Amino acid sequence: MKWINNNVTGNTNTMNLLLRRTLVRIVRYSSTHPNPSQEGITTRSPRYSTMLCCNKAVQQDRAVHQSSPFRGLGGLLLCAFVFLWFNSSAQLNTDQQYAKPLKEVLTDIQKKYGITIKYVDSMVNNKMVTYAEWKYRPDVEVTLDNILKPLELKVKKEKDKQYKLSAYEYYRWPVEEGWAEMDRIAAQYKTVEEWEKRKAELKPCLKEALQLNHLPAAPNSKPIVTPKRLFDGYSVENVAIEILPGVWINGSLYKPLKFKGKIPVILNPDGHWEKQRYRADCQLRCAAMAKMGAMAFSYDLFAWGESLLQFKVEDHRRSLAMTIQALGAIRILDYLLAQKDADTNRVGITGGSGGGSHTVLMTALDDRIKVSAPVVSLSSYFYGGCPCESGMNIHACGGRTNNVEIAAMAAPRPQLIVSDGGDWTDKMPEHDFPYLQTMYSWYNKKENVTNVHLPQDKHDFGITKRKPVYVFMAKQLGLNIKAIQDANGNIDESKITIEPEKSLYVFGENGEKLPAHAVKGFENLERVFAEEIEKARTNQRYKIGLIDLMLLKRQKLGAITLTAELKADGVEVDMGGLGNRPTFDNQLLIDSVRNHFIKTAKEKKVEIFCLAMTGYYAQSFCGRAEYIRSIEDCIKTMQLMNVKHAFLPLGVQCDIKKNPAIRDSVIARLKIAGKLAEEAGVIIGIETSLTAKEEVELLKQIGSPAIKIYFNFSNPLKEGRDLISELKILGKDRISMIHATNKDSVWLENDPQIDLYKVKKALDEIGWSGWLVIERSRDARKPSDTKYNYGANTTYLKKVFQGE
């Protein structure tokens, strides 16, 4: 009323009269005018009806009081009152879920419980609390948890009766919950054999979560290297490595000035401290390692350092940052280990904080790393507070894992864990480290994992952290620690030069040397990454395939979904049975069926790489009067589905080794099939019982480049022939695909007759590339468990042939 008193000089009786008249007009208007729905207008809410009445009342009030200073004011005030009443009452019922603004609720809680909650307005603006008053409890912290958890918020208690509002931290668990989860994880394995099996499951899953199960090809460019700078016992040169087209990872390479032979390599990823790798402690660490005799490489995190020439600082907190950093480390290792003076058997990595999380992950992913030292990072109750540490869903692997289990994947490789009392590593000696000791003891290498715990220290990579790292690296990599010790045996870093930040740049003080084709902006990075990953997936040298007939039945759409679930690259689809029909019972010539298969395969990213004419296992390819139509139907289907390979088994009835008399008939028919395939631009792979030399002769007689051998491991092995020799005799140009199978009683990795690493080496040597197709090789104890058997064989073949 203060505003009214300052601007209106009438008496209050006049005001009251206006309010009474306006109220009467609203009531009269409401009673004498029909509901809008009765006039053919869509029914409106009570809010609308009230608004309509108020509007009319205000108009009438203005008409009556044309000369009054209160003209229209009574109607306006009453409408304001009505709306306030309506809105306040609407919030306090179930229709509105008893919703109140978060800011209002927090104010009420502070008054009710006598506490203070600090927050910035941006955290509470536009946030509503549903059923707000129903969530109050006698305990203030229970109340705050009820109110804030649905909004992904929490409070931190700073002191008695004082709290600070913060975002919900998915990555930070209560200590007891983290330990309980660690115990649950550890209970899944009791022997080293069980642990090795779990590791074999975790590693490819980690790669897939990072979207690096198909590693993109390295750009065909040379690293950009700045002139070498010489210091006391070491040199420094800055290096930019192109890890994707137009995307670089930058760092500085520290090397000893004098050395003989090959020297160790140590990666030094940086953490989230200010000034990144340009900090004094980072330069001190890398220079000290160089003085000790190693080449030490310090590098930027994604969207930090010189990476900011291409991306914004906030891009560092995007989930893809985790993947780009992992890819960057792989490319750095590729570069360093290709140096003529690099010792590939002595490779280490150490990083602090976020760099420590990166250290743990890279050691688990890359077997080239022989020793590791994560600093102030490892904990079972902290998963990494930055998306560059936990943004990709690696922790869902194996039915959920954590960073301590991922660190255990390094066993039995030497590992130093540095922890302190000032962060989430504060309880490392109590629970997590004993777990790691147990894991290492299974390899009889308990001494290979050590923990230096500094209970009085804070979260940094200071000298108290660097000293144990120097000692550890010197011991494990054969470095000369005396090179950084004074006369009393103390670590002395005083002779190391701390360079200004700009001296560590590759692309110039203002980025003027950044190549013209540099990718800029996160959206462009996402596009380039997706393109390169797709190329890698489709251009994989060795691809792993499954067979629909073995997974389910012929031409079952679910086989595509199951293939994707088992992580295979593609599926061989059968043409259907033959029986007494003139051609296959092939549903894929029906447009709707075929299109459904093609669509599903595309959605699941599964390639239909071969059509199989397995009907000729039971029927005689060489004896049937009608065979041309079946070949034509298969080729037509291949063309419609863009499939380049077909499988034609000659079967028992057309075994020309056992029945030489049919050889001419088989050759004549295969010549016709070859001609049809040539005209269509496709390949037909045949499977025989002949030796490799005999198959070479057979292919010469057929005389068609469209007819090749679908090689089967089991054929030479069951007759005692050498598998490697057979492959080399056939050579790359005569093998269409390979049935990677042998005994139908054991998995491929447990088959004593097959050394797949030697097979891969032989295939590498002859230059072959293509599909390895899993046919049988099932565990005799569970032969009908499809996922169990084909999942294990797929995982093993990917490990051997794709490095997963």
User: What does the pLDDT read at residue 803?
Assistant: 72
Alpha-carbon dihedral angle through residues 794, 795, 800, 804, given to the nearest 10 degrees: 130
- Residue whose entry in the numeric block shows the structure tokens 């002949």: 690
Task: Give yes or no for a contact between 677 and 634, defined as CB atoms under 8 angstroms apart.
Answer: no
Q: Which residues lie below 8 Å from residue 567, measured CB to CB, with a gap of 6+?
A: 204, 208, 213, 791, 794, 795, 798
Strand 295-299 with 342-352, pairing:
unpaired
Specify the DSSP element, H or E, that contains 100: strand 100-101
Report how far residue 322's alpha carbon sits from residue 303's, in angstroms, rounded to the nearest whole number: 11
Task: Give yes or no for a contact between 282 and 313, defined as CB atoms under 8 angstroms apart.
Answer: no
Report how far residue 373's alpha carbon sits from residue 419's, in angstroms, rounded to the nearest whole number: 11
Q: How many CB atoms lie under 10 A from the CB of residue 664?
A: 12
Nearest to 248 by CA among 505, 510, 498: 505
Domain boundaries 540-802, corresponding CATH code = 3.20.20.150
* Residues in the chain, pLDDT under 70: 1-91, 804
SS3 content of the chain, % helix, strand, coil (to 5): 50, 15, 35
Q: Which two tokens stand for residue 166?
A: 């913060």
pLDDT tens for residues 621-670? 988 888 999 999 999 999 999 999 999 998 788 899 889 999 999 999 99
The one-letter code for the residue type at 428 is M
The one-letter code for the residue type at 651 is G
Using alpha carbons, list the distances in angstroms from residue 419 to 180, 374, 460, 462: 20, 9, 10, 12
Partners of residue 159 on adjacent β-strands: 162
Report how far residue 345's alpha carbon sits from residue 767's, in angstroms, rounded to the nearest whole number: 27
Task: Give yes or no for a contact between 645 and 668, defined as CB atoms under 8 angstroms apart.
Answer: no
Nearest to 689 by CA among 646, 668, 735, 658: 658
Of the CA atoms within 13 Å of residue 761, those in its CB half-sphere come to 8
The one-letter code for the residue type at 406 is I
pLDDT tens for residues 83-123? 444 444 444 788 889 999 999 999 999 999 999 999 999 99
Report how far residue 505's alpha carbon sits from residue 503's, in angstroms, rounded to the nearest whole number: 6
Return the domain boundaries, the chain: 2-91, 100-167, 193-531, 540-802
The one-letter code for the residue type at 63 is A
Q: Which two tokens stand for residue 321?
A: 């940052």
- Please state which architecture CATH assigns to domain 193-531: 3-Layer(aba) Sandwich (3.40)
Task: Give yes or no for a contact between 377 and 168, defined as CB atoms under 8 angstroms apart.
Answer: no
Task: Give yes or no for a contact between 613 and 584, defined as CB atoms under 8 angstroms apart.
Answer: yes
User: What does the pLDDT read at residue 744?
Assistant: 87
- Residue whose entry in the numeric block shows the structure tokens 């299109």: 595
Chain mean position to CA 19: 66
User: What does the pLDDT read at residue 540?
Assistant: 81
- Residue whose entry in the numeric block shows the structure tokens 């979904």: 561
Please give the radius of gyration of the chain, using alpha carbons only, rounded to the nearest integer.
36
Report how far residue 804's alpha carbon sits from residue 788's, in angstroms, rounded to the nearest whole number: 18
Chain mean position to CA 224: 29
Partners of residue 685 on adjacent β-strands: 647, 708
Q: Which two tokens stand for residue 172?
A: 């930070």
The one-letter code for the residue type at 607 is E
- Residue whose entry in the numeric block shows the structure tokens 């912290």: 141
Chain mean position to CA 49: 54
What does 549-582 look like in DSSP terms, one character per residue? HHHSSTT-THHHHHHHHTT-SEEEEE----TTSS
User: What does the pLDDT read at residue 11?
Assistant: 45
Task: Give yes or no for a contact between 574 and 643, defined as CB atoms under 8 angstroms apart.
Answer: no
Report how far residue 178's alpha carbon sits from residue 771's, in angstroms, rounded to the nearest whole number: 43
Report how far residue 263's alpha carbon sits from residue 285's, in angstroms, rounded to the nearest whole number: 17
Q: Which two tokens stand for residue 170?
A: 């998915």
- Residue whose entry in the numeric block shows the structure tokens 């108020």: 54
Backbone φ and ψ for 250, nearest 5 degrees, come out as -110, 150
* Edge-to-edge strand list for the sheet holding 153-159: 116-118, 162-167, 153-159
The CATH class that applies to domain 100-167 reads alpha beta
Report how far residue 587's alpha carbon sits from residue 600's, in angstroms, rounded to the nearest whole number: 16
Q: At what angle do helices 628-641 and 591-604 cross, to 10 degrees?
A: 50
